[in-house]
Structure 1
Amino acid sequence: MRTVAVLGGGIGGLAASYYLCKSPHVSKVVTLESSSRFGGWMWSTRRSDGAVFEHGPRGIRPAGAVGRNTLNMVDDLGLAGEILPVTYSHVASKNRYLYVNKQLHRMPSGISGLLQTVPPFSRPLLLSVAPEMLVKKGKKEDESIHSFVSRRFGKELADIAVDSLCRGVFAGDCRKLSVRSCFPVLYNAEQHRGSVTLGMLLGTGPNHVIPPGPLSQRSIKESWAQWSLSRGMESLPESITEFLEQSGRVQLHREAAVKHISPSASGWTIHLEDGVMTADHIISALPAKALSSVLPLSCQPLIQQLQDISTVTVAVVNLEYEGSILPVTGFGHLVPSSEDQGLLGVVYDSVPFPEHNRPNGQTTRVTVMMGGAWFQEVFGVPEAVTDERLLARATEAVQCHLGVTTVPSWARVCLHRDCIPQYYQGHFRAVESMRSFIKEHNLPLSLIGSSYDGVSVNDVIFSGRTAVEELLGTGVNAGI
């Protein structure tokens, strides 16, 4: 394999470039990013007084094969000393809230939480969980998350807890999202064990084998629930970029928007604004719709399926307040769609990561998430929404939900257009079909990133690794 072009310089494209760079079988890697910076949605503001604010992902889970894989990469990049871990015993892990009926409710946890009736639920959660083991296995090859949870655990849990969870994770509507694609662990538990509860207890079959490195072993020993980095999450793509630059094997191009790609005798001709280049293989980390707009017309069935993957727009408003203003301590609170469609949730950033507060004087940082699948319905078209309106809506939410009467001392509004792909029912079939088309037509093309196999940072990084392994014919245990 002579030249591999990676389209897109978000965390997926950088991860693919990183794994390609580690292989002796690739002589040249070219990474093309249309914007002026690498890192995509992993974006941090570092203020001169030491405060750090996250505009994208603010914490990564260490669990599972994909979590171990990311920590192994972080270790390799020399970032272990910058890790900010949050353990399962931390108040941010134990206390998560729902805002229902105009008040905050702590989510039940532990044995007592299962046995008692805890508002906003009308009965003990044990009465929803225990009978689940007797529910018959579903016969559909896919169904909505709401339908799956209602069938197995009851409608109340689906309407309140799962609706809120899907808004927090996917900024999406659980009545449309696919359980098979969004929560494969739940789907596989039912398929392999006949019960989600039994699947969680006994496992759901074989998984990727990723040996834990020193940092991953530490996360297990210290019982981490999530982690961040001392200079913010953007440190991760910055460190990968620096690693690639120092390797001497990767050409990194910013402001290099791909206009069109066309088949050539050796692979692809890539048309840029200021010239053309050739590659033997393309790994596309572009959003599905962006890739669809540059493919040749001969890929029409693939183009259509890429265009069919929907995305949602999320407004992220970072707020800083003087003093300690939170009435409760915890990770934050989510809001079910029945309570307020426009407001997805509020994260109490200063609780899990106080290290990101400015060092002098006590402050409280929170982030308000708005819109998602309901953005247009509530706020109108993204192009017409002003920062002032979003800021006013965010500060009003903090005032109403948390009783904060002071005004923020600092604020930043970020409107992330089309930032989270929505895996609707049948998504897995569409992805299978796309990859089948690529294989049948011998296209030297790999699809990675959040449009296909998971939206978390861990999933996106792992998709880059998987694509490189498939391209080079190596296995996950081949020591890449």
Structure 2
Amino acid sequence: MRTVAVLGGGIGGLAASYYLCKSPQVTKLIVLESSSRFGGWLWSTRRSDGAVFEHGPRGIRPTGAVGCNTLNMVDDLGLARDILPVTSSHVASRSRYVYVAGQLHRLPSGLSGLLRTFPPFSRPLLFNVAKEIFTRKGTGADESVHSFVSRRLGKELADIAADSLCRGVFAGDCRKLSVRSCFPFLFEAEQRRGSLTLGLLLDSGAPPGIHPGPLAQRSIRESWAQWSLRTGVETLPEAITEFLQQSGRAQLHKDAAVQHITPSTSGWKIYMEDGVISADHIISALPAKALCSALPSSCHSLIWELQNMSTATVAVVNLEYDGSILSMRGFGHLIPSSEDPGLLGVVYDSDFFPQHNRPSGQTTRLTIMLGGAWFQEVFGDPEHVKEESLLTKATEAVRYHLGVTATPSWSRVSVQKDCIPQYYQGHFQRVESSRSFIKEKNLSLSLIGSSYDGVSVNDVIFSGRTAVQDLLGGGI
């Protein structure tokens, strides 16, 4: 393998490049990023006074093989000293809320959450669990998240809990999202054991092959629930970029949009505005629709599958208030679509990462997420929406939901267009069909990133690792 081109310099493309640079089989690596920065949706604002604000993911989970894999990478990059862990006993881990019928309700947790009735739910969750154990296994190849949860745990949990969770994680509609692709561990638990409860209790669920390094071992020992970095999560892609630059084998190009790719006798020709690059293999970390616009017409079957992969746009509004303004503590709260379709959730950033507050004077940082699958319906075309209207919507949510009458001392509105893929029912078949086409046509092409195998930071990084392992035929 002489030359590998990685299309896309977000965390997926950078992760794949990191693993490629660790292999002596790759002589030359070319990374092409269309924007003016690397890192994609891992994007942090660091103010001169020391405050840090996240415009994408703000905390990364350490659990499972994929979480362990990311922490091993963080360790290898020399970032362990910058880690900011949040333990499972922290108030932000134990206290999460949902806004229903004009009130905030703390979500049940622990054994007491099963045995007692916690509004907005009408009865103890133990009744739902008992019913679930005796519910027949589904027979379909896929199912919506709402249908799956309704069938196994009841409509009330589907309407409130599943709806809110899908909006918080995917900014999506649980009535359209696929349980098999969005929550594969739930689907597999039912398939293996006939019950979510039995499946989650009896199966470890973690794929083998990832040995926890010192940092991952520490996360287990200290029972971390999530983590960030001292200067924000963008520190991770910045560290990978520096690693690549120092490797001597990687060429990194910003403002290098790929216009078209065509197969050649030795691999691919990659056409850009200012030239042509040849590569033996392409790893595409581009969003599915961005890739399909660059593919040759001979890949019409692949283009068709990629075109049918949808995305959601999210407006992220960062607010800072002077003083301590919250009457409760916790991670934040989600809002079911029946309550307010345009308002997805509010995150209490200051509670779980107070290290990102400015050092001088007490402040409160909040992040409000808007739109998602409902963006067009509520706010109109993302290209023409006014930031003032999004800011007003966010500050009104803080006022009505949290009782905050103060005016924010600082704010920033970011419209993240097409930032979260929507895994609708049948998504797994589209992914399988896409990769089958590539294999049948013997194309030197790998598909990675959030469009295919999971939207979390851990999933995207792991997809880069998996593609490199498959390409090079060995461990990393």
Q: Considering the TM-score relative to the shorter chain, is it more than 0.5?
A: yes
For structure 2, which runs of at least 5 residues remain unmatched after alignment? none
5 Å-filtered alignment, 1:221-260, equals 221-260=221-260
Whether the 8 Å CA contact 2:287–2:450 is kept in 1: the answer is yes
Task: Specify the alignment match of 2:51 in structure 1.
Answer: 51
* Counterparts of residues 258-297 of structure 1 (less than 5 Å): 258-297=258-297
How far apart in 1 are the matches of 2:166 and 2:204?
22
Q: Using the TM superposition, give the Cα deviation of residue 459 of structure 1 relative to its aligned residue in structure 2, in angstroms.
A: 0.2
CA distance in 2 between counterparts of 1:307 and 1:205 reads 32
What SS class does the counterpart of residue 316 from structure 1 fall into?
A: strand
Q: Does 2:376 correspond to 1:376? A: yes
Distance 1:239 1:111 in 2: 41
Q: Which TM-score applies when normalising by structure 1?
A: 0.99
Q: 1 CA distance for matches of 2:472 and 2:111? A: 48
1:69-123 per-position Cα deviation (integer Å, ceiling 9, x unaligned): 0000000000000000000000000000000011100001111121111100011
Structure 1 unaligned blocks of 5 or more? none
Q: CA contact under 8 A between 1:27 and 1:249: conserved in structure 2? A: yes
Structure 1 residue aligned with 2:390: 390
CA separation of 1:204 and 1:143: change in aligned 2, threshold 3 A: farther
2:161 corresponds in structure 1 to 161
Q: Which residue of 1 aligns with 2:407?
A: 407
State whether residues 75 and 215 of structure 2, in contact with CA within 8 Å, keep that contact through their aligned partners in structure 1: yes
> Which AA in structure 2 matches 1:193?
R
Give the residue type in structure 1 aligned to 2:386.
T
AA aligned opposite 1:148: F
Q: What CA distance in whole angstroms lies between the structure 1 residues aligned with 2:295 and 2:20?
A: 23
- For these two proteins, the number of residue pairs brought into alignment is 476
Q: How does 1:66-465 map to 2 (within 5 A)?
A: 66-203=66-203, 207-465=207-465
Contact 1:192 1:204 in 2 (8 A): no
Q: For residues 413 and 136 of structure 1, what CA distance do their matches in structure 2 show?
A: 46
User: How far has the Cα of 1:208 moved from its partner?
Assistant: 3.4
When residues 404 and 438 of structure 1 are mapped into structure 2, their CA distance, relative to the original with a 3 A threshold, is: same
Contact 2:343–2:369 (Cα < 8 Å) also in 1:
yes
The answer as to 2:34 corresponding to 1:21 is: no
Counterparts of 2:366 and 2:403, CA distance in 1 = 14
Amino acid at match of 2:370: M
Rounded to whole Å, the distance in 2 between the matches of 1:259 and 1:426 is: 29
Structure 1 residue 204: Cα displacement: 6.2
Amino acid of the structure 2 residue aligned with 1:116: R
Mean CA deviation greater in 236-245 or 129-138: 129-138
Distance in structure 2 (CA, Å) of the matches to 1:303 and 1:286: 13
Contact 1:46-1:231 at 8 Å conserved across structures: yes
SS of alignment partner, residue 383 of structure 1? coil
1:315-360 deviation digits (Å, cap 9, x = unpaired)? 0000000000111100000000000000000000000000000000
The superposition leaves residues 19-72 of structure 1 with CA deviations (integer Å, 9 ceiling, x where unpaired) of: 000001110000000001000000000000000000000000000000000000
After superposition, the C-alpha distances for 1:210-240 in whole angstroms (9 at most, x for unaligned) are 0000000000000000000000000000000
Name the CA shift for 1:459/1:205 in 2 (closer, same or farther; >3 Å). Answer: closer
Contact 2:315–2:414 (8 Å) recurs in 1 = yes
Distance in 2 (CA, whole Å) between partners of 1:206 and 1:154 is: 28
Give the share of equivalent positions with the same residue, in percent.
76
Residue-by-residue CA offset, 1:278-309 (whole Å, 9 max, x unaligned):
00000000000000000000000101110110
Q: Which amino acid aligns with 1:443?
A: L
Distance 1:30 1:382 in 2: 32
Superimposed CA distance per residue, residues 357-385 of structure 1 (whole angstroms, 9 cap, x where no aligned partner): 00000000000000000001101111121
Answer whether contact 2:34 2:256 (CA < 8 A) is retained. Answer: yes
Give the match's secondary structure for 1:56. coil
Amino acid aligned to 1:58: R
- Per mean C-alpha deviation after superposition, the further-off stretch among 46-55 and 108-117 is 108-117
* Contact 2:350–2:366 under 8 Å retained in 1: yes
- The residue type paired with residue 296 of structure 2 is P
- 8 Å CA contact retained: 2:65, 2:206: no
The alignment's C-alpha RMSD in Å is 0.7
Assess, with a 3 A threshold, how the Cα gap between structure 1 residues 206 and 401 changes in structure 2: closer, same or farther.
closer
Give TM-score scaled by structure 2 length. 0.99
Query: Contact between 1:193 and 1:204, CA under 8 Å: does it hold in 2?
Result: no
Q: Which amino acid aligns with 2:31?
A: T
Instruction: Identify if the C-alpha distance between structure 1 residues 206 and 95 changes in structure 2 by more than 3 Å, giving closer, same or farther.
Output: closer
> Residue 382 of structure 1: SS of its match in structure 2?
coil
| Alpha-carbon distance in structure 2 between the residues aligned to 1:274 and 1:322 | 49
* Letter paired with 2:460: V
* CA distance in structure 2 between the aligned counterparts of 1:9 and 1:207, rounded to whole angstroms: 27
SS in 1 for 2:137: coil
**What amino acid maps onto 1:340 in structure 2?**
D
